[in-house]
Structure 1
Amino acid sequence: MRRRQFLYLTGAAFTAGVVGACVSRVDTGHGVVGAAASPRTAAEAFRAARRFADLPFGQIAYVERGEGNAALFLHGAPLNGFQWRGAMERLSAHRRCIAPDFMGLGYSRIPEHQSLAADAQAAMLVALLDALAIPQVDIVASDSGGTVAQLLVVRHPERVRTLLLTNCDTEPNSPPPKVKPIIEMARTGTLADSTAQWLTDKALARSTFGASVFRDPSRFADETIEYYASPLVSSPLRRAQYHAFHLALEPNPLAGMEALLRRSQVPVRIVWGDGDDIFPPEDAHYLDRTFPRSQGIRFVPGGKLFFQEEFPDVIAEEAERLWRLG
């Protein structure tokens, strides 16, 4: 597959599946591009806040803000917890907001033979909550993080207070057709090399990946590209795990989940970018029909796969509304 085709597909298809002040060309989470310089950029602030939990699965990177009842933010691929910087900034006055990095993505340090499949990711999150002495959480999830969230609701319903799902996998659409070429690149070992191109050609990253996952790709700032891509290609082990993460998307990790989700008593709100051609609006309607306690759908006009970064106010508003039910 040609490099440019890959870069488009990653933006259009990664399913696996930012806090602080910003400088020029950085999305502050307030919808401001070109803000005045501040002592720290968003990525620097997020990096400074990063912690690690030593678990049987490895050293799991996470960022935490706020206090009180906990909210767990689950990112998409090839992103990491930085995806939720804007939402966390707004919601940390109401919750203890925790954004971990999944195994095989972001800054978590995982041993070589650890499974990176969705069920292992769900087990890792339960271990993380146990380590942090958190009995129950409100979950906010995106993309492949939505897959793991659905597994948690089914397997550990007592740990989930509420669930806010944004564009993500569903049982009938996992992995989506547009992800399968990416899985094939992981299989042939070319995915990491293609992703590494983002670090040397950020304009290309914006015009391909950015254009397919953001309504306004100019907001995909240089530091954001670096924060997402750098750890994925930082060593031979990390490159191999990046591939393994995507190979674990098949077979469908949500196979057989619908009947179990139909019995869930967790309140669910669905917030969906209607401009996404990977997880189209029908996926949102499917989730609304499936969850008995669905609180309905809010469509974000023109929003694409990772609209959460561009519209953190929407996420905050809908999360607060849902949390009042929990």
Structure 2
Amino acid sequence: MNSGTTDFGRRAFVRLAVGSLAAGTLAACAPGVARLASPPASRKALDARAFTAARRYARTRFGNIAYVEQGGGDAALFLHGFPLNGFQWRAVLPQLADVRRCVAPDFLGLGYTEPAAGQSVAPAEQADMLVSFMDTLGIGQADVVANDSGGAVAQLLATRHPDRVRSPLLTNCDTEHECPPAAMAPVIAMSHQRTYVDTWLRPWLEDKALARSSQGLGGMTFCKPGQPTDEALEMYLSPLVAHPDRTHAYALALEENSLAGIGPKLAACPAPVRVVWGMSDTIFSPAGAAYLDRTFAHSRGVHRIAEAKLFFPEEFPDVIAAEARELWSAS
């Protein structure tokens, strides 16, 4: 990575260290609501080998959608961020498989999904893809848990297809006034030049320590030392480096504000919504959490995690599982 790109990235990812959270507190979604039973302690995170073995493909007109599924009953969709894939939810799915049919797809252009030739990977198309994906799997309605650009898709899904979304649980993600976030500028600029993969992703894949440094994916979007792990970096970055055209197309599809004007539609959304937000995120500001809370008519409030950054669902799976159970109990 050259020094000019590093300086550009450092300026783009300015730390926003704000907010506080009382230790051990998990705010309830609604007073007096009985919680779903806690998961058995034996439900461990899936490692890369198990996750890969569990991967299946759903054939749709958008392409062959890679996904991993655990559990049964009412469905829940888990929507990942960029440049990640469904492996982001490997520690959450086992914790919720006793109460939901947990399904984690890979978006068009990311992970192991195989897009149809010429298929757009824009957020609106991703939302329509999810409807087709749900139809293929026989899912009429689902709870949705989403992070990062997956959160933008979740908002589009909930407003374009409100009958398909039972409840959204949104973590740090795009909002109407921060779509895309300013920190995406260098990624979009490099993607226009078709250099993003070779300038950032390939070096991170080849040098895991660099990927975990302050100039890498780890320092930018994770708060715990040693994250992301070597196997996570392999799972996330290998398909993106192998298919640079798809990767650049996904980044460029985020350049346009896909959520412009969505506010009134969010206000009309009938589903209960819970927001969980990492307050040390340098990509999305804390204002995003406040916006979602006041805009959704049926918001169940915000759980703020002081030290967490963008991809905290991977680092705090217990929080996500507890919040999901609380929200689903109230739905």
The two structures have a TM-score, normalised by structure 1, of 0.88
Q: Give the match for residue 20 of structure 1.
A: none
Q: Measure, in 2, the Cα distance between the counterparts of 1:285 and 1:188.
A: 35
Distance 1:4 1:204, change over 3 A: farther
Counterpart mapping for 1:1-326 below 5 A: 2-5=4-7, 42-194=47-199, 195-207=201-213, 208-234=216-242, 238-326=243-331
Which letter does structure 2 place at the counterpart of 1:193?
A: D
Q: Aligned to 2:226, what secondary structure does the other structure show?
A: helix
Q: Give the match for residue 17 of structure 1.
A: none
Q: Identify unmatched segments of 5+ residues in structure 1.
A: 14-37
Give the Å deviation of 1:279.
1.1
- What CA RMSD, in Å, does the superposition of the two structures yield over aligned residues? 2.1
Deviations 1:46-65 (A, max 9, x none): 00000001111111000000
Which letter does structure 2 place at the counterpart of 1:309?
A: E
Which letter does structure 2 place at the counterpart of 1:218?
A: G
Q: Measure, in 2, the Cα distance between the counterparts of 1:12 and 1:164.
A: 26
Identity, % of aligned pairs?
Answer: 52
Report if aligned partners of 1:9, 1:179 keep a CA contact under 8 Å in 2: no
Q: Measure, in 1, the Cα distance between the counterparts of 2:12 and 2:187.
A: 7
Give the Å deviation of 1:7.
6.8
- Of Structure 1 and Structure 2, which has the larger fraction of its residues in helix? 1
Q: Measure, in 1, the Cα distance between the counterparts of 2:143 and 2:227.
A: 28
Q: Measure, in 2, the Cα distance between the counterparts of 1:106 and 1:283.
A: 26
Q: Measure, in 2, the Cα distance between the counterparts of 1:42 and 1:148.
A: 27
Q: Measure, in 2, the Cα distance between the counterparts of 1:223 and 1:12.
A: 27
The two structures have a TM-score, normalised by structure 2, of 0.86
Q: Identify unmatched segments of 5+ residues in structure 2.
A: 16-43
Deviations 1:73-103 (A, max 9, x none): 0000000000011111111111000000000
Which letter does structure 2 place at the counterpart of 1:60?
A: I
Q: Measure, in 1, the Cα distance between the counterparts of 2:327 and 2:258.
A: 27
Q: Aligned to 1:219, what secondary structure does the other structure show?
A: coil
